[in-house]
């Protein structure tokens, strides 16, 4: 649903912006959004019943290990600005000692979007929406005794895929839009100086 909404907003914004001569980073894609990400909150949504996933926290542990090994930071902040890596599990026991579980992984990030036909609104013409980058999804079935391990391995694989996606996104930015990283470093330096000045006071 979020993806569909985002696509509609982009199409409407593109039409309006094109008519008004506003610049759009049409070639940026999702890479231009996720390529600058460095820290994430990990959220496990456990909707698995009947003991098919007895230790859901182990999925978070697997994801955290992969992220930390690749020099990403773990963030526990609950603010809207926090990027959240969500692993969602839904499943149950079908017959005695057999389970079926759906597992997916997504990045949820907040983006600023232009609201179509809102340029005359005094309070502003942009809004914040929660968009998601789909990492992977799959359905697993098998003995209950081995389901925990299989789900942990899949969570590990999803996180490795996620890291690869971000790495490739960084390459995409460096090749096509290097000024994004330059501006990012400038802003980080500015914020660090401002924070340092406030601390001294």
Block residue for tokens 């490739």: 168
- 23 is in which domain, residue-wise? 2-195
58 in any annotated domain = yes
Single pTM value for the model: 0.77
86 in any annotated domain = yes
Residue 36's pLDDT is what?
84
Measured CA to CA in angstroms, residue 150 lies from 30, 41, 73, 100 at distances of 30, 23, 26, 11
The span from the CA of 95 to the CA of 91, in Å, is 12
Q: Answer whether 140's CB lies under 8 Å from 101's CB.
A: yes
Residue 90's pLDDT is what?
98
Residue 127's pLDDT is what?
81
Residue 9's pLDDT is what?
45
Tokens of 65: 């290990």
Low-confidence ranges of the chain (pLDDT < 50): 1-2, 4-22, 24-26
Number of domains in the chain: 1
The span from the CA of 141 to the CA of 103, in Å, is 11
200 in any annotated domain = no
Tokens of 117: 């036909």
Residue 199's pLDDT is what?
52
201 in any annotated domain = no
Count the Cβ atoms, other than its own, within 10 Å of residue 46: 16
pLDDT tens digits, 79-124: 888 999 999 999 999 998 999 999 999 999 988 777 887 777 877 7
Give the residue ranges of DSSP H helices in 21-56: 31-34
């Amino acid at each position: 649903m979020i993806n569909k909404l985002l696509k509609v907003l982009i199409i409407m914004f593109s039409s309006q912006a094109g008519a008004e001569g506003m610049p759009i980073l049409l070639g940026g894609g999702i890479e231009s959004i996720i390529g600058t990400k460095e820290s994430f909150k990990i959220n496990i949504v456990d909707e698995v019943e009947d003991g098919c996933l007895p230790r859901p926290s182990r999925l978070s542990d697997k994801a955290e290990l992969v992220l930390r090994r690749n020099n990403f930071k773990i963030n526990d902040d609950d603010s809207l600005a926090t990027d959240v890596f969500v692993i969602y599990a839904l499943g149950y026991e079908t017959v005695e000692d057999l389970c079926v579980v759906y597992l997916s992984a997504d990045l949820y990030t907040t983006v600023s979007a232009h609201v179509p036909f809102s340029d005359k609104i005094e309070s502003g013409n942009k809004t914040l929406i929660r968009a998601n980058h789909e990492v992977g999804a799959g359905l697993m079935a098998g003995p209950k005794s081995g389901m925990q391990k299989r789900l942990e391995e899949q969570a590990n694989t999803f996180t490795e895929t996620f890291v690869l996606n971000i790495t490739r996104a960084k390459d995409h930015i460096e090749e096509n839009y290097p000024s994004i990283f330059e501006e990012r470093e400038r802003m980080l330096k500015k914020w660090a100086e401002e924070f340092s000045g406030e601390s001294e006071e």
